[in-house]
């Protein structure tokens, strides 16, 4: 088992998705059970499904200094950076530590592939990219990291994590290691993914996309709804006094695994997911019985939900609350980890456990932990699960400062 880690303070956090722009808007959507899924209005060819689309990205313009990075993904990244005062907090962090001592660790599944799709639809008669699309800083997997580093004026370690749907959960783990090894004094973590044809038709080809709003853990679920999101957080070491503001949440543990069972299906007994869970608990120095809430991966796909439900049922007491919040946002792929981490922090801050939106009848594999309805609760310790294709699993452990 891994050794316990020193907690890290999460001194800023923000998220933007179909359910709302910024933490306050998302919190209101959760509390009022106002989901953001709508009929597909995005794909270039008809596809009957529901999506979690962030409105207004088509009309958004990047600042002139960032215009060469223009893409849907970077527009959403900029929109996310400007919520909850995060941009100002990031600039203050840079001034405090120096641009070279702030690490940037971001997760994305598809980067700016939507823009690359558009570039290839607009090839000239000789099959060449137009001059406007000859932008290597956009048409590459590390585009998001380059964009955010440029936007924030950062010059420290800059990593892109691309492990499918666990990408922006694993950023917390990589950032903790960079700080523990002294390679940075603070870290900005996050993730952004946007809708594009490759995502919509790719998942549809796997027969995973539902033609109705996704219903995680429902006995009659039909598949997932795809969405888009941006989220960011600042991680800093605890002060020598060990004391932080009482409303400052902490990262207390993480677990990662790669079971490589199948390209898209989870291990049938959830062994990789369970290994990630065990490592997160060990690094946090807690037992499963101490966990008050779990934000589940819960995509509403048949096999994934069944495996995760069985894992939660056998490892946690009935008093633990668990839910999937993808009914509000859709599955935001490489941004799911940071979005659901932000939602988990909202739950800790507000003493509020979200339920599972759109779900009407729980699958028999579910134990009493998985809840449909919202509930008020004194939440002290919470987990967030993110599981990706290829068996890339990550579990994050958070706590209120007064608990840790």
pLDDT tens profile 300-313: 999 999 999 999 99
pLDDT at 260: 77
Which residue, among 19, 225, 228, 205, has the nearest Cα to 114 in the 3D structure? 228
- Tell me whether residue 165 is one of the annotated catalytic residues: yes
Helices (H), 122-254: 143-152, 167-180, 197-205
Q: Which of 74, 139, 267, 297 is labelled catalytic?
A: 297
Q: CA–CA separation, 266 vs 327, rounded Å?
A: 21
pLDDT at 264: 62
And the tokens for 61? 């313009």
pLDDT at 332: 98
pLDDT at 390: 75
Q: Which residues contact 32 (CB under 8 A, 6 or more apart)?
A: none
- Terminal Cα distance for the chain, rounded: 21
- Tell me whether residue 261 is one of the annotated catalytic residues: no
The counts of H helices and E strands in the chain are: 11, 16
Specify burial of residue 143 (Cβ count, 10 A radius: 0-12, 13-18, 19+): buried
Residue 25 CA: distances (Å) to CA of 50, 53, 344: 21, 15, 15
pLDDT at 263: 63
- Which tens digit of pLDDT belongs to each residue from 194-217? 999 999 999 999 999 999 999 999
Low-confidence ranges of the chain (pLDDT < 50): none
Q: CA–CA separation, 64 vs 68, rounded Å?
A: 8
Residue keyed to tokens 């699958």: 363
pLDDT at 269: 74
Residue 367 CA: distances (Å) to CA of 71, 313, 318, 324, 362: 43, 5, 7, 14, 9
Quote the Cα angle for 370-374-380, to 5°. Answer: 75
And the tokens for 43? 């794909």
Q: Which of 17, 49, 165, 394 is labelled catalytic?
A: 165
Sequential DSSP letters for 19-43: TEESHHHHHHHHHHT----EE----
Q: Which fold has domain 8-400?
A: Peroxisomal Thiolase; Chain A, domain 1 (3.40.47)
Helices (H), 33-83: 72-81
Q: Which of 139, 214, 331, 366 is labelled catalytic?
A: 331
- Which tens digit of pLDDT belongs to each residue from 370-394? 999 999 999 999 999 999 877 799 9
- Tell me whether residue 297 is one of the annotated catalytic residues: yes
């Amino acid at each position: 088992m891994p050794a316990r880690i020193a907690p890290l303070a999460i001194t800023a956090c923000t998220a933007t998705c179909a359910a709302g722009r910024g933490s306050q808007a998302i919190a209101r959507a959760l509390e009022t059970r106002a989901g953001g899924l709508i009929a597909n209005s995005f794909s270039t060819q008809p596809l009957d499904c529901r999506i979690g689309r962030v409105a207004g990205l088509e009309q958004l313009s990047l600042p002139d200094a960032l215009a060469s990075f223009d893409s849907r993904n970077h527009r959403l990244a900029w929109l996310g950076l400007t919520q909850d005062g995060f941009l100002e907090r990031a600039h203050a962090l840079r001034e405090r530590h120096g641009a070279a001592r702030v690490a940037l660790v971001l997760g994305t599944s598809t980067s700016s592939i939507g823009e690359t799709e558009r570039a290839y639809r607009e090839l000239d008669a000789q099959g060449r990219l137009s001059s406007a699309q000859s932008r290597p800083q956009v048409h590459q997997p590390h585009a998001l990291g380059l964009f955010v580093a440029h936007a924030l004026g950062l010059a420290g370690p800059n990593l892109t994590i691309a492990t499918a749907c666990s990408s922006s959960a694993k950023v917390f783990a990589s950032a903790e290691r960079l700080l523990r090894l002294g390679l940075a004094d603070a870290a900005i973590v996050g993730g952004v993914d946007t809708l594009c044809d490759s995502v919509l038709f790719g998942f549809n080809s796997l027969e995973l996309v539902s033609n109705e709003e996704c219903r995680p853990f429902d006995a009659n679920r039909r598949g997932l709804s795809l969405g888009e999101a941006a989220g960011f957080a600042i991680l800093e070491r605890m002060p020598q006094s060990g004391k932080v503001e009482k409303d400052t949440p902490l990262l207390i543990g993480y677990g990662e695994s790669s079971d490589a069972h199948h390209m898209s299906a989870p291990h049938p007994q959830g062994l990789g997911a369970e290994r990630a869970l065990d490592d997160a608990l060990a690094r946090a120095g807690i037992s499963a019985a101490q966990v008050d809430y779990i934000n589940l991966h819960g995509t509403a796909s048949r096999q994934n939900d069944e495996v995760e439900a069985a894992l939660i049922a056998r490892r946690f007491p009935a008093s633990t609350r668990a839910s999937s919040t993808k009914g509000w946002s859709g599955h935001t792929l490489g941004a799911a980890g940071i979005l659901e981490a932000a939602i988990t922090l909202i739950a800790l801050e507000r003493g509020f456990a979200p339920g599972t939106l759109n779900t009407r009848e729980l699958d028999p594999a579910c134990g009493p932990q998985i809840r449909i309805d919202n509930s008020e609760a004194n939440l002290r310790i919470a987990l967030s699960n993110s599981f990706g294709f290829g068996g890339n699993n990550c579990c994050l452990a958070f706590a209120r400062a007064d608990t840790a």
